[in-house]
Amino acid sequence: MKKRIIVIEDEPSILDNILYSLESDGFDVCGCPTGGEGEAEFKKNGADLIVMDVGLPDTSGFELCPRIRQSSDVPIIFLTARAEEVDRIVGLEIGADDYMVKPFSPRELSARVRAVLRRYQPVVDKSAEVSQTESNGRHGIPFQVDDERVQVTYFGDVLSLSSTEFRLLRILCRHPGRVYSRSQLMDIAWNEPDAAMERTVDAHIKSLRGKMREVREEIDAIETHRGTGYALKENW
C-alpha cells in the first residue's frame, strides 16, 4: 500500500515541486494551500505523514501542529523559510518530527520523508523492548511504558510525547543509571544515525524534561553526563 502524505504549503510552485517529487517516489499525495484545508483533509481521510509549511495564510504551523497532535501522533515534517525558526521547531515542544529549511531540493525532502517514515515503524529489535514489569518492578522507577498505546506514564500521569520522545524515553527506562551517548541514542531510536543530528537528541531530551517537570517539578528524571550522554535517574 502506498503511504499517503498531505503537504500543506501555500506557495503553488513549491507545492507543485514537492507533490511531483513525492509522487514520483511512489507516495500517494494530497496538496493543501491552507492550514484549514490541510486539517480538514487529515481529519477526513487521514495520512501516514504530514509535510507542513510554518508560514501559512490562515494559521501558522506552530498552531496547527499541536492541534493535530491532540488526536494523532502522525509524523510531521516542518518546512520553514527562516533559519531562526529552526530553534523553535527543534525545541519540538510543538511535536514535530523533523524540519527542512527553504530552499531545499524536493529530492532532499523525499529522502527526509522516507527516513521519518522508517523511524516511525514499530521497533522490531526485541532487545530494545521494555516490559511493564521491567520498568515498574525491578528498577522501582516511576515510569510505565505501554508499547501498544505508545504511551509512558510518569507518577501516574500520561506524558504527552512525540513518537521520537517516546522512543528515547523507552530506551532510557530500560536501564536506569546506564549512560547512553547521543550517537547510541540515535542508533537505537532511529536505526539511522546519519539522518539525525546530535543536536536533535539534545532538543528532544530538553522537551522530555520539560514534560516530566510539569508532573514533578523538583525531580530531574534524566541526568546529563558531560561529554558522554544521558541516563535515566537511577535512585528514586
What residues line the site for Ca ion (CB under 5 A)? 10, 53, 55
| Among 87, 37, 82, CA closest to 202 | 87
* Nearest-approach distance from CB 14 to Ca ion, in angstroms: 8
Residue with cell 539511522: 192
| Residue 84 beta carbon to Ca ion: minimum distance, rounded to whole angstroms | 15
Closest approach of Ca ion to the CB of residue 177, in Å: 46
Cell of 71: 488526536
Yes or no: say if 163 and 207 are a contact pair by the CB < 8 Å rule: no
> Phi and psi of 35, rounded to 5°?
-65, -40
Name the residue nearer to Ca ion (CB basis): 36 or 55: 55
Give me the least distance between CB of 77 and Ca ion, in Å please: 14
CA–CA separation, 152 and 29 (whole Å): 32
Number of H helices, E strands in the chain: 9, 11
Q: Is 55 or 66 the residue whose CB approaches Ca ion more closely?
A: 55
Residue number with CB closer to Ca ion (11 or 93): 11
